[in-house]
Amino acid sequence: MAEHRTMQRGALLDAARSLLSEGGTEALTFPALAERTGLARSSVYEYFRSRAAVVEELCAVDFPVWAAEVETAMAGAETPEGKVEAYVRTQLTLVGDRRHRAVVAISASELDDGAREKIRAAHGGLVAMIVEALAALGQPEPRLGAMLLQGVVDAAVRRIELGAAEDPTRIAEAAVAMALHGVNGSPA
């Protein structure tokens, strides 16, 4: 029985990921979850009391996986510059991943404070990884620099998601250049 409940919960989370990546948080409704999973709407409520609860669980499950991929890529880089580049590139590579798209949709949405706090904490873990590399590069305010760098990454993610005129590879190159060399985009 417990195994069956775990499978259904997993199916609900997977349906939530799809709905979020297809239509953002507006698409994440209990009727839509019920339809996608073939469960009765009342059954959906047995697993999650609200949309926010679905979102919180997705964050708890998906954010660490996503952050671990970024962390692994950074760990494989030899230099602080390489770590910054890995931080930017890995996040942009993950854009096509449904988990990532769901996380982006969640981050952009109106959420209750509990869910927002969980996201902030998870993002904080991601940002903490880059603070050290920025400090090693001589950034006088590495924490602030990390927040601003994440802003560049988030803007690049949105640009890729929008299907902007530029090729995603060009967007990634521009984001890496801006992260490493500022607005002039080329090494000093």
CA atoms within 13 A on the CB side of 24: 9
Identify whether 84 is part of a domain: yes
* Between 184 and 156, the higher pLDDT residue: 156
On whether both 19 and 44 belong to a single domain, the answer is yes
For residue 173 the two structure tokens come to 């190159």
The whole-angstrom distance between residue 50's C-alpha and the CA centroid of its chain comes to 21
Could you list the residue range(s) of the whole structural domain that residue 17 is in? 1-48
Q: Based on the fold, state whether residues 137 and 59 are members of the same structural domain.
A: yes
> Does the structure show a pLDDT above 70 at 138?
yes
Is the pLDDT at 188 greater than 60, yes or no? no
Reported as a single tens digit per residue, the pLDDT across 70-125 is 999 999 999 999 999 999 999 888 876 766 666 666 665 656 676 667 666 766 77
The CATH number assigned to the domain holding 119 equals: 1.10.357.10
CA angle at residue 39 from 12 to 110, to 5 degrees? Answer: 45
The pLDDT of residue 183 is above 90:
no
Does residue 186 sit within a domain? no
In tens, the pLDDT along 31-54 reads 999 999 999 999 999 999 988 888
Of 158, 64, 70, 65, whose CA–CA distance to 118 is shortest? 64
Tokens (6 digits) for 17? 């990921």
